[in-house]
Structure 1
Amino acid sequence: MTQTTPHTRARAEIDLAALRANVRALRARAPRAGLMAVVKADGYGHGAVPCARAAIAAGAEWIGTATPDEALALRAAGVPGRIMCWLWTPGGPWREGIEAGLDMSVSGLWALDEVVAAARATGRTARIQLKADTGLGRNGCQPADWAALVAAARAAEAEGAVRITGLWSHFACADEPGHPSIAHQLTAFREMVAHAEKEGADPEVRHIANSPATLTLPEAHFDLVRPGIAMYGVSPSPEIGTHQELGLRPVMTLAASVALVKRVPEGHGVSYGHHYTTPGATTLGLIPVGYADGVPRHASGRGPVLVGGRVRTAAGRIAMDQFVVDLGGQEIPEGSEAVLFGPGTRGEPSAEDWARAAGTIAYEIVTRIGTRVPRVLLHEEPEREPLPGAVPTARP
């Protein structure tokens, strides 16, 4: 995390107090379950290490990442407690994962073979979680192959090579309340869990609930919920509600310093292709961030920004390093703050507003903010010891 100087052109402020508040709010939505704070993709662009530590301080018992390299980086940074990672490819760092005490997801026999070989080489028992494909059609073991995977994993467990610590899956359409696939996936998950347990598996946790399921589907909470985007104060989808309606506080504020203000005449072309020409004599403000910083080019002509006390719109094309707003004749000093998105407490746009302008989802807006934009941590607090293990809960 880099601190800004008075000359910094742009910054992404990361409000860790808001993140802690979101974790507490999400825990309250699932009071009988533990919580896995998902910090993949560098904490959805917010910074994986500080966000993981803040989540643990707020009561998260587990940390989740996509790739093993992400999980190993957290361990190297001293993040304690249970860390799970799930996006493995052949030849992955299984041995390093075992030595770091990671929970490693297994979706097929090839992965089980590799983790067992690594466990034998290290002489240590690997912690694995079996992933069921209950209908997403992405990673995970198909129902037709589940019995074979469970049998092989149980044999490896009997040998002492692995410990089956979890059974899990992922929703396809939990962000669309009432979608018929939700009930189908829950049924399939229960059936696949029941088969594994009948074969002797005794997992520490069973989990399927992502952010939208954490917020709207208490029947899907099981032993553990896995909020990702909601932890950062961003709504999973408009159908579920705004972040305000969900009681969440956006964690990231993206701002820049206005680089130039100048007067131009009527009919002046602005940015590449002259897709915008000034309707009259006006002032233009230059905002020194662009698509190389993660500002979506698809939001050209539509992306909102608070500058000079008013929300303006990107005028013309968003370029690699900069874009322009038409200030409508307003004169503001260079160095004035331009806020692209934030919590909305000052009337600034939200990440959801940029998502609508770009025809995408808010997940993409926050995760794409690039490394040229320094992250500035706000409201850090001393770390606390992690809570041990996952919270047990009654079987639903």
Structure 2
Amino acid sequence: MAISRRKFIRSSIAAAAATSIQPFSLSATTNSPVVSKISDDRFDPWIEVDPTALLHNISEVRRLTKGRPILAVIKNNAYGLGLSLAAKILERLPEIHGFAVVKLEAAIVLREAGIKKPIHLMARFPQSAAKDIANQNIQPSIIDEDALEFINPMAKIFGGSVPAQVYLDTGMSRMGISYRRAMPLLKKIANNGKVSFQGVFMGFTEEPDFDKEQLKRFLSIVNKSNKAGIQLGTLHAASSSAVFDFPDAHLDMVRPGMALYGGYPNDPEKQSQLGTLKSTINFKARVVRVEKLRKGDSVSYGRNYIADKPTWVATVPVGHTDGFPRKAVEGAKVLIGNKTYPVIGAVSASHSIVEVGNKKSVQVGDIVTLIGSGAPEVNPNWISAKTGASVYDLFMHLNPSLPRVLI
């Protein structure tokens, strides 16, 4: 890398702090407030973002894919990290080719935040937005026969061909043009002369045997296009799952999301043997109440926990509306000091309760780590495996309105 890890982290922190007071004109669902410091007397939850963990995960992805460039998927508020904050960190890295999003709003937020690298919109958008997309230099996806309806007005703004990517549906049946009818459309667009193909991509079902068939279909269209004199550009198909489990799909570039941020996409036990990921977030709050239960006292809605002996409990002002899963009561623990404590009762909208034990070892104001690093039990992959909560939900459901801070 061109700059040292320490210098990179310092410059990232400075850049994020400098831009944290700049408002964005679009919805908070695509971005999050960034602060330079969390006050020492804050009880409500916050999210720490760890750039060193992000760097580590990128290095692991690069190692697993033999140095392929990375198109960083930064959808859904950058998997909880905060859209512009994560992008500002990632853009400085030469390993990152650009960014992929699935909402037009997110693409525009990135440009407004000063992101210069390529931004690829992997979604349909209204024709009325075509000019705005062109003005913001956002790469659209060709996903259906109506592509030329937005290509033609965009070409006038570009003053030439429109840089775009082809989204092929090879069996996911979710988005993209079906591989069965792709060639006539590709020929039509190529003959139109107003598109500069930057790449072609697809998504896997993540069912191993069928994934092989999908890749075969994908490469068949690429080969047919080449024979027809249509150069589609960079080939990319591998999301986080294929980064670990399907090397044949690494192609020209990889397109991971979850793995960059510290989550194993499918099988943590198996995939952790191939590469070690670190959580890029620490979801924290402070204890707001400590109380001793008598035998027979219960906790929260439904009385799912009833003390069978005198027991200390602590209340944390974090609930499912903040992103802490209801399933946390099925085996999750939180870290307070250097010890972990089980979540009990029920995770309500704004509160969770933990069992402290027969000694009052926790005080009001103690910092609680609910998801993150510091102990294996709060790692998002451990929580997912223990409770059955999706690791994707643990990241993506973090409330976007909570403050993010670089550490």
Alignment TM-score > 0.5, same fold: yes
Unmatched tracts of structure 2, length 5 or more: 1-33
1:339 partner SS: strand
Name the aligned partner's letter for residue 210 of structure 1: S
Is 1:167 aligned to residue 200 of structure 2?
Answer: yes
- The offset of 1:267, in angstroms, is 0.6
Does the alignment pair 1:333 with 2:367?
no
Distance 2:347 2:394 in 1: 15
2:68 to 13, 33, 36: 33
1:32 & 1:337 partners in 2: Cα distance? 39
With 232-241 and 72-81 compared, the bigger mean Cα shift is at 232-241
Q: How many residues align?
A: 370
In the TM superposition, what are the counterparts of 1:119-138 in structure 2 within 5 Å? 119-120=155-156, 123-138=159-174
Change (3 A) 1:197 1:230: same
**Cα shift readout 1:338-377 (whole Å, capped 9, x = no counterpart):** 211213x444421123323543320111110103432111
Deviation at 1:201, TM superposition (A): 2.1
Taking the aligned partners of 2:247 and 2:267, their CA distance within structure 1 comes to 19
**1: CA distance between counterparts of 2:232 and 2:84?**
27
For 2:119, the equivalent position in structure 1 comes to 83
Q: Which structure has the highest helix share of the two?
A: 2
Change (3 A) 1:319 1:296: same
CA separation in 1, counterparts of 2:49 and 2:167? 32
Q: Which of 257, 277, 283 is matched with 2:312 structurally?
A: 283
- Partner SS state of residue 172, structure 2: coil
**Which position in structure 2 is the counterpart of 1:6?**
40
Equivalent residues in 2 for 1:40-51 (5 A)?
A: 40-51=75-86
Match among 180, 194, 202 for residue 144 of structure 1: 180
- Specify the code of the residue in structure 1 equivalent to 2:127: G
Structure 1 stretches of at least 4 aligned residues deviating more than 6 Å after TM superposition: none
One-letter amino acid of the structure 2 residue matched with residue 39 of structure 1: I
1:371 aligns with 2:404: no
Cα 1:281–1:372 change in 2 (3 A) is farther
Unaligned runs of 5+ in 1: 379-396
Q: One-letter code of the match for 2:307?
A: T
Contact 1:153 / 1:164 at 8 angstroms: preserved in 2? no
Q: 1:113-167: per-residue Cα shift (whole Å, max 9, x none)?
A: 22333334664532111111111111111122112221222123x2xx2211111
Deviation at 1:17, TM superposition (A): 1.6
The residue aligned with 2:146 is: 110
**RMSD of the TM alignment (CA)?**
2.0
Cα distance in 2 for residues equivalent to 1:278 and 1:363: 33
- In structure 2, relative to structure 1, the CA distance for the partners of 1:287 and 1:362 (3 Å cut) is same
Rounded to whole Å, the distance in 2 between the matches of 1:252 and 1:313 is 20
Contact 1:256 1:338 in 2 (8 A): yes
- The whole-number CA distance in structure 2 between the counterparts of 1:30 and 1:92 is 39
Cα distance in structure 2, aligned partners of 1:117 and 1:151: 20
Q: Does the CA contact (< 8 Å) of 2:262 and 2:277 recur in 1? A: yes
Does 89-98 or 272-281 show the bigger shift?
A: 89-98
Aligned-partner Cα distance in 1 for 2:271–2:290: 34
Segment drifting more, 101-110 vs 84-93: 84-93
